[in-house]
Amino acid sequence: MVREITHAATEPRIITPDDLDEEKGDIAICLCGLSADYPFCDGSHQATQDEKEGVRYKYECDDDENPRHVIDHEFETVDEQKIGPTNDDDL
Model confidence band, residue 91 (pLDDT cutoffs 50, 70, 90): low
How many secondary structure helices (H) and strands (E) does the chain include?
1, 3
Tell me, what's the pLDDT at 88? 57
| Contact yes or no for 58/68 (Cβ under 8 A) | yes
Tell me, what's the pLDDT at 4? 73
The verdict on pTM exceeding 0.75 is no
User: What's the average model confidence in pLDDT over 23-40?
Assistant: 83
